[in-house]
Every structure is written in C-alpha cells, then in structure tokens.
A and B are shown apart, each in its own frame.
Chain A
C-alpha cells in the first residue's frame, strides 16, 4: 500500500514536471528576423472585417510571395481587449512586426515610450502625401512625424433611423438639422411613448457626446477642445454640454443597451427612433441583419454636422522592436496601396483613406460615404477627428474623460464636468 502511494506521488511529480516545458512559449517564433514572415497584430476577427483582412492578405501575397503572413488577430469589442494585450507585448519587447492602432493620439504613449518607429520617409517614397487628404495627415502627425499608415476611414458623426418608424410617429423622415430641432422632434416622439434616442454603454455615450459637441460648436470650436484653444468652461461649451444633457434625457440611458448592436436593434425594431453610431453599423445592419439601406433603415450626418466628416481610422505601425523590419515595411506599403485598400474596405464596410479609390467597388451606404470622404480632397467637406476612437486625445486623457463622463451621467453637473475635463487636459498633456 505504502509503495503504491509513493508511486502515486512520484507519478504526479513526474507528470507535473513533464507538463512544464510543453507550455513554454516560443520566444523566438520570429525565426530570427530573416524577413521570411511578417506577424501582424490586429483586432479584426468579426464578420466583414475578417474577410476584408483576408482579401488584403491575398493581395499582399501576390505582391510578396516570399513572405509568410502570420495573422495575430485578437478579438474583443473595438479592440479594447486587444489593446491591453498589445500594450503588454510592446512593454515586454515582444512586439509583432506591425500592429493596428486607431490613428491619432492613441499612439502617443507608444511614441513616448519609444515603441514605434518614424515612417515619414515611407510617405515620401510611396507618394502617399498626394493621395491622402492633407488635413487627414495633420491629425496623424505627432511632433512633426508620421508613425502609422491609415488603411481605412470610418465616420463617427452619423445618425440612424428607421423611416417606417418615423412615418408611423408622424415626424419627418430625416435626421433633424440641428440638435435643438432634434429636441423638438424628440418631445413629439416621447409623447407617443417611444424612445427618441437609443443609447448603449459608456463608450457609446462618449461617441454621442463628441457628435453633440461637434454639431453645436462646429469644426473650429470642436478642434479647439482638443488643443486647448476652446475653453471647456466657456459659455459656448457649457451651452453645448447642456444640450447634451437634454439629449440624454430623451434617450433610454436609464436602461441602456449592453452594446451597440442591441442599440441598433432597437432602431430597426422601432422601439427607438434614432441612434448615433459610426458607419460600422451599416455593415452590421446590411451583413448580419440582412437589411437594405434607405428602406429598412436610413442614415445621414448627425444634427448640425452636414459637410463635416468626423473620422477615425485603423492604421498600421512599424514597432521599434519588429523582428522582420523589411517584411513589415512591405506590409505597410500594402496597407497604404490602392489595391490593398480597395481589397479591404468594401468587405470591412469602411472607405479607403486614399481618395483615389475605385468608386465602382462601393455600393449602398459606402457609395455615399466614399463621396463624402473624397469631398474632403477639395475642401467641400471638412475633416475633424473622433474623441471616442482615439484620434484627438491620448489614452490617459481619454480614460479621465471616461471617468468624468461616467460621473456626469450620474449627477448631470455640467460645470463640474467641464472643469474636470479641462483640468485633466493639463495634467495629461
């Protein structure tokens, strides 16, 4: 008996030790950096975006048959989970060869920590300065340098509705021209027992906030919020925040949807009249739900933002510690190329950052979206950057705004919110 038990213990110990090396990570998976492969980190694992990535990879492989593409995509809503994982990989010096970030100040920490390389020279050698709108490049330039290649452009300032719902409610089947018009319409809708505006979790509230501010302050005032030239505590912003508070009163903030998809579902089903959401909602409504734009749902610029394009962009970088730098540069060239962007975007449901895309590839909402983006080339449409999606505020300030907004949702204190955001700007610059 004693022997058997000792045997058990010995066996257990042996099993435990044998298991250990089996789970060690392959630290040198990069193959010593001979540029025979390129590991690309993204958060494109959802329907549509996964197909888009695959199409761009296919295009990449025809141009670079000798480079193996290693897809290190990590899922997680809008990359929030992926971002935390990426952060630790960069910090540990275990960087992929290229990684996805929202273009803009979301990259600031990476730059300050020396995790990404300056790729300004690629912009010159590839002639990208001529094909990306100059104003876009302003938003991407940090301390005079460029660190990322924008693959696509999403639009934040859109309002969605179901024409049939509005018709049944007896209100005009269009997006109100301004937020004060919206409040008038919302009152009518509320009187008929429907929710005027669907809302979701924290980030959708921030998404709404930025677009109310944009609609109320216009491009100049809105831009100034992020570089200290518009005073958060001034009367204009205070008024705009007051409008935001009123808009929230007409939303279902008391019982918000758990994510943006159920929030859009409420608009489709007619439980809610409007929702403010970015253009990725189109891919969801068209692809996942099988609906048709302009009949089952309709979309236009959110109130007061006609001719303004509030953008966010997925972009790729060159990490300082990339093991296969030449291969990574080949990938970046692909990401910035016309054929790469035209392969990716129609499937992802976004428009190319380049303004020379082939319009024939974009149908439905994207046809209009592309026209709008290409309008930025001659300045008939103005560009501003999104707060909720990392363009105009760095991670630290963005996180502090999350907190301030969370408190504002609880207590509705406009003055305190504005003062806090202003103070945090100074602290996190």
Chain B
C-alpha cells in the first residue's frame, strides 16, 4: 500500500474564504456545535488510541506490561524496552536511510524531467504515453515479483541495497512524474515561450526556468517517495538476502512479527521503526498535506 499518494497533485493552499456570513443561525445551533465537537473528540480518541498504547507501553517498566493493563499510565518510566530492541533495529534504520534518501531524490529528479516534458515540451505520442506511465502507480507489486527477483539476481543486483534503491526509483517514477506534470502545468506557457524566444533549448529551459520554481513540488515528491520507500516491505523482503542489508520494516517484522517477543518490545520496535516517517510528517506536514488536500480533484 505504498501508492496511497495516487492522484496527488500539488496545488496552492486553499484560498481564504470570505468572512461575511449569511448562514442562518438556528436555535439548535449550540447543540449542533456541541455535537460536532463531541463527535470530533470521539474520532480523535479513536485515531490517537493506538499511538497512546504504543508510546505508553514502550515506556513502561517491563514488569508492569500486559495487554490487560495497556491503557494504564506507567507507574515508573523506563527505557528498558528500547534498550532491548535497539541493537536489533539500528542496522535496519541505517539501511532504510541509505535506501530511502537516494531513492526519493533520484526518483524526484527523473520525475521532474518527465513531468516537464509531458506538460511543457510534448513530443508526439506524449498523450498516449502518460496514461501508460500512470498505470504503473497502481500495479500490484505481486505481479512483478517473480520476474523482478529473477532479473535482479541475473544482474547481480540482489542481496544488497543498490538493487532495492533501483526498483524504488523505478516504481516511484509514475507518482513523481504525475506530481511534476501537474505542477508544471500550472506554470504559464508564456514563460516557457519567452525562454524559447531567447534561444534557450529544452534542457536550458528545464534547468533555468522550470527547476528554479519547482522546490515545492520537490518537497512533495521527495516526502511521498521517502515515506513509501521507508514503509515498503515486499521489495525489501525479496531483494535483500543478507540481514545486514535489511531495511527496518523487514527487521521489524522479523523481531516483532511473531508473538514470541514481549508486548513492550513489540511496541518499542514499532515505535522506533515509525519515528522517522512520523518526524517527517510532523515537521514537513504542510507539504504532505498540500500533496493530499488537492488530491484526486483534477478529473
């Protein structure tokens, strides 16, 4: 489910709405208002509950951990659970960084080029090619798994991270292409034409006119690609055969996938594995949102 960013289009933040209000105030309005906040709070509990359990359990002293007492606050705080799982996850974290950073940046760069060409410098057949690229975004990875393992093993790209980076770049292309194509569509054609009149070729226009205005699209594309490469399981599971190259999701599944490890250690390892993407979300959430908020509405 790494392709949840489908149809993500970069858009300008929503316009400020007019403040003047013609709404008819019913006498039931205060109740409706109360009901609305009550419902929102209820949903908030539902969405935050697992995270509460995650954090509280991994910070409890192992002796007071049980599924029955999952909702109780710790009586003493302890980092014992983290200490227990950290050695098993640290390599995975490192590998995931080494994997997700280049995979997202390169995929975004290639996507920028594709997006630019497909929106501003169309070649004959571009309209035919774009939907074909787009379909790659939705393909179930299962349907390429067997040929991919054969090919990567033939190419000697299996086992380490390099092959994994390559496939993340490739399967990320449809999404990054879409993001940049939508973004560059928003640039007025006149700027491009002006550059052409000045004698700039396609490459110069791309590098000197398009790329300098593209950082917001880069932010969106890189964040989405980083998140999906970080969270991927399937490719990592078939392409890394040596545990010293496991991405963190594989390491996580390996140590916490059975129930032979204690509840607190399972929660601590899940928390560690999630922290980087959570951090990206909290710090760069507005780009995350910007990609999301405008989503799926171009049709």
Stretch at the interface among A23-31, A166-174, A289-297: A23-31
Residues facing B in A1-52 (CB within 8 A) are 1-2, 5-6, 8-9, 12-13, 15-17, 19-20, 22-25, 27
| Contact, CB under 8 Å: A88 / B241 | yes
| Contact, CB under 8 Å: A89 / B98 | no
Contacts of B105 in A (CB 8 A): 12-13, 15-16
Stretch at the interface among B10-18, B30-38, B159-167, B194-202: B159-167
CB of B187 to closest CB in A, whole Å: 15
Contacts of A74 in B (CB 8 A): 243, 254
**Chain B, interface residues (CB within 8 Å), range:** 35 or more
Identify the closest chain A residue to B101 (Cβ).
A19
CB of B250 to closest CB in A, whole Å: 9
Contacts of B162 in A (CB 8 A): 20, 23-25
| Contact, CB under 8 Å: B242 / A25 | yes
A20 to B159, CA, bound (A): 14
| Contact, CB under 8 Å: A261 / B241 | no
Residues facing A in B59-76 (CB within 8 A) are none
A261 to B215, CA, bound (A): 52
User: Is B285 located at the chain interface by the 8 A CB criterion?
Assistant: no
Interface of B is mostly: helix
| Contact, CB under 8 Å: B106 / A24 | no
A94 to B99, CA, bound (A): 22
CB of A391 to closest CB in B, whole Å: 23
Q: Which listed residue (A12, A24, A258) contacts B259, Cβ 8 A?
A: A258
| Contact, CB under 8 Å: B258 / A77 | yes
| Contact, CB under 8 Å: B211 / A9 | yes
Determine which residue in A19, A24, A25 has the highest number of CB atoms from chain B within 10 A of its CB, and name it.
Answer: A25
User: Is A81 located at the chain interface by the 8 A CB criterion?
Assistant: yes
User: Is A192 located at the chain interface by the 8 A CB criterion?
Assistant: no
**Chain A, interface residues (CB within 8 Å), range:** 35 or more
Contacts of A193 in B (CB 8 A): none
CB of A202 to closest CB in B, whole Å: 13
| Contact, CB under 8 Å: A15 / B207 | no
CB of A158 to closest CB in B, whole Å: 19
Contacts of B95 in A (CB 8 A): 23
Q: Mark B106-149, 1 if CB is under 8 A from A, else 0.
A: 10010000000000000000000000000000000000000001
Contacts of A25 in B (CB 8 A): 159-162, 242, 245
A16 to B208, CA, bound (A): 21
User: Is A262 located at the chain interface by the 8 A CB criterion?
Assistant: yes
User: Is A76 located at the chain interface by the 8 A CB criterion?
Assistant: yes
A85 to B106, CA, bound (A): 28
User: Is A63 located at the chain interface by the 8 A CB criterion?
Assistant: no
Q: Which listed residue (A5, A16, A81, A262) contacts B102, Cβ 8 A?
A: A16
| Contact, CB under 8 Å: B243 / A16 | no
Contacts of B260 in A (CB 8 A): 77, 259-261
| Contact, CB under 8 Å: B255 / A75 | yes
Known: A2-B212, A22-B98. A92 touches B106 (CB 8 A): no
Contacts of B215 in A (CB 8 A): 5, 8
User: Is B90 located at the chain interface by the 8 A CB criterion?
Assistant: no
Known: A6-B211, A9-B211, A77-B260. A92 touches B159 (CB 8 A): yes
| Contact, CB under 8 Å: B99 / A258 | no
Contacts of A17 in B (CB 8 A): 102
CB of B77 to closest CB in A, whole Å: 25
A85 to B255, CA, bound (A): 15
Residues facing A in B178-215 (CB within 8 A) are 207-208, 211-212, 215
User: Is A367 located at the chain interface by the 8 A CB criterion?
Assistant: no
Q: Mark B86-110, 1 if CB is under 8 A from A, else 0.
A: 0000000001001101100110010
Identify the closest chain B residue to A85 (Cβ).
B241
Q: Which listed residue (A6, A13, A262) contacts B212, Cβ 8 A?
A: A6
A23 to B163, CA, bound (A): 10
User: Is A416 located at the chain interface by the 8 A CB criterion?
Assistant: no
Identify the closest chain B residue to A76 (Cβ).
B254
Identify the closest chain B residue to A4 (Cβ).
B212
Contacts of A16 in B (CB 8 A): 101-102, 105-106, 109
Identify the closest chain B residue to A261 (Cβ).
B260
| Contact, CB under 8 Å: A13 / B109 | yes
User: Is B55 located at the chain interface by the 8 A CB criterion?
Assistant: no
Residues facing A in B255-278 (CB within 8 A) are 255, 257-260
CB of A45 to closest CB in B, whole Å: 9
Identify the closest chain A residue to B166 (Cβ).
A20
User: Is B158 located at the chain interface by the 8 A CB criterion?
Assistant: yes
User: Is B50 located at the chain interface by the 8 A CB criterion?
Assistant: no
| Contact, CB under 8 Å: A20 / B102 | yes
Q: Which listed residue (A9, A23, A75) contacts B161, Cβ 8 A?
A: A23
| Contact, CB under 8 Å: A259 / B258 | yes
| Contact, CB under 8 Å: B149 / A24 | no
| Contact, CB under 8 Å: A24 / B161 | yes
Contacts of A13 in B (CB 8 A): 105-106, 109
User: Is B4 located at the chain interface by the 8 A CB criterion?
Assistant: no
CB of B136 to closest CB in A, whole Å: 21
Identify the closest chain B residue to A19 (Cβ).
B102
| Contact, CB under 8 Å: A23 / B160 | yes
A2 to B215, CA, bound (A): 11
Q: Mark B146-177, 1 if CB is under 8 A from A, else 0.
A: 00010001001011111001000000000000
User: Is B238 located at the chain interface by the 8 A CB criterion?
Assistant: yes
Contacts of A19 in B (CB 8 A): 98, 101-102
A94 to B245, CA, bound (A): 15
User: Is A91 located at the chain interface by the 8 A CB criterion?
Assistant: yes
Give the A-binding residues of B (Cβ under 8 A).
95, 98-99, 101-102, 105-106, 109, 149, 153, 156, 158-162, 165, 207-208, 211-212, 215, 218, 237-238, 241-243, 245, 254-255, 257-260
Identify 8 residue pairs between A and B in the complex whose beta-carbon atoms are under 8 Å apart, listed by A's number: A1-B212, A15-B105, A16-B101, A23-B162, A27-B159, A81-B257, A94-B159, A261-B260
Q: Which 4 A-B pairs have the closest CB atoms?
A: A25-B160, A258-B259, A23-B161, A16-B102
Give the B-binding residues of A (Cβ under 8 A).
1-2, 5-6, 8-9, 12-13, 15-17, 19-20, 22-25, 27, 72, 74-77, 81, 84-85, 88-89, 91-92, 94, 257-262
Taking A2-B208, A9-B211 as given, write out 18 further A-B residue pairs in contact, using a Cβ cutoff of 8 Å, ordered by the A residue number: A1-B212, A6-B207, A6-B211, A9-B109, A9-B218, A12-B109, A13-B105, A15-B101, A19-B98, A20-B165, A22-B98, A23-B160, A24-B161, A85-B242, A89-B159, A91-B153, A258-B259, A259-B260
